[in-house]
Amino acid sequence: MNLDKKVKSALFEFLLRMGDDRLILGHRLSEWCGHAPIIEEDIALGNIALDLIGQASAFLSLAAEVDSKGKTDDDLAYFRDETQFKNLQLLEQPNVNFAGTIVRQYFFDVYANLILENLTNSSFKDLAGIAEKCLKENKYHIRHSKQWLLRLGDGTELSNEKSQNAVDKLWRFTNELFEKDDVDKILIEEKIIQETDLLKNLWDDRVLLTLGKAQLNKPIETHDFSHGSRKGFHSEHLGHLLAEMQILARSYPNAKW
């Protein structure tokens, strides 16, 4: 597919966003290995983390191909600094407890489902192909996080309290899920992504329906929403995460395994 410079730059940026979301969330989920509340969940979260990191590799490999500067997915994952990452701030938030992990995961899973469905109709066939494969995995992810959210929210008084606290804390990061900028507008015009204006309403409908079934409440709306992650602005947590994730590759940059 022949792309002019402006479209190529926008596509590269968009692929970084898709890859970084999954790389950072995959790393966060990997932190549960050996620490989950039950052994089956230890395996489940590890498998979802592997799915997300595999998806990140696919998106970042395509980004490197589009960028045409001889880099690889590993280069993009391990040798960019904090301000060069474009993941949502929601996904870098630490694992305070299991309820918080599930709420964060469900918020992202619903978002990912909508975005991936959108991308299966992309005019850029390589992107559509990756999206179709990721969508199959996402259907398992969303079922898993939804079932746990219902179980925790409509469970004991303590599990409901922890789940509600997580919803209250993480809600401020959800407004930027569907923020549109020039990258989106350029790619929509080229039909590389489809129009996204209705996706926020669909996300709200699905999430609020599940919260209601889980006996959880939507937080009172405030103007204290996070912004700017797609431009490289992040919370203090990302730097610590990257230091841990990147230390081996940066310590031995030419190592062969």
- Residues 173-212 have pLDDT tens digits of 999 999 999 999 999 999 999 999 999 999 999 999 999 9
Provide the pLDDT for residue 227. 85
Is 157 part of any domain?
yes
Average pLDDT score over residue span 140-147: 97
Is 221 part of any domain?
no
Report the distance separating Cα 171 and Cα 175, nearest Å. 8
Report the distance separating Cα 114 and Cα 200, nearest Å. 9
- Tallying the residues shown for the chain, one arrives at 257
Is 66 part of any domain?
yes
Higher per-residue confidence, 184 vs 254: 184
Q: What pTM value is reported for the model?
A: 0.95
Provide the pLDDT for residue 114. 97
Is 16 part of any domain?
yes
Q: 255 pLDDT band (50/70/90 cuts)?
A: confident
CA atoms within 13 A on the CB side of 6: 8
Report the distance separating Cα 201 and Cα 11, nearest Å. 25
Q: If you average pLDDT over every residue of the chain, what do you get? A: 95
Q: What percent of the chain has pLDDT over 70?
A: 98
Domain of residue 29 covers 5-216+234-251
Average pLDDT score over residue span 211-236: 89
**Longest Cα pair distance anywhere in the chain, in angstroms?**
57
pLDDT at 36 over 90: no
Asked if residue 180 lies in contact with residue 193, where contact means CB atoms within 8 angstroms, the answer is: no
Is 159 part of any domain?
yes
Q: What is the CATH number of the domain that holds 14?
A: 1.20.1260.10
Q: How far separated are the first and last CA of the chain, in Å rounded?
A: 34
Higher per-residue confidence, 133 vs 2: 133
Is 223 part of any domain?
no
pLDDT at 256 over 90: no
- The number of folded domains in the chain is 1
pLDDT at 126 over 90: yes
Report the distance separating Cα 194 and Cα 122, nearest Å. 7
Provide the pLDDT for residue 223. 63
Is 227 part of any domain?
no
Provide the pLDDT for residue 222. 66
Q: What residues contact residue 25 under an 8 Å CB cut-off, 6+ apart?
A: 52, 87, 91, 104, 105, 108
- Residue among 165, 152, 145 at smallest CA distance from 105: 145
pLDDT at 37 over 70: yes
Mapping DSSP onto H, E and C, the string for the chain reads CCCCHHHHHHHHHHHHHHHHHHHHHHHHHHCCCCCCCCHHHHHHHHHHHHHHHHHHHHHHHHHHHHHCCCCCHHHHHHCCCHHHCCCCHHHHCCCCCHHHHHHHHHHHHHHHHHHHHHHCCCCCHHHHHHHHHHHHHHHHHHHHHHHHHHHHHCCCHHHHHHHHHHHHHHHHHCHHHHCCCHHHHHHHHCCCCCCCCCHHHHHHHHHHHHHHHCCCCCCCCCCCCCCCHHHCCCCHHHHHHHHHHHHHHHHCCCCCC
Is 226 part of any domain?
no
Provide the pLDDT for residue 125. 96
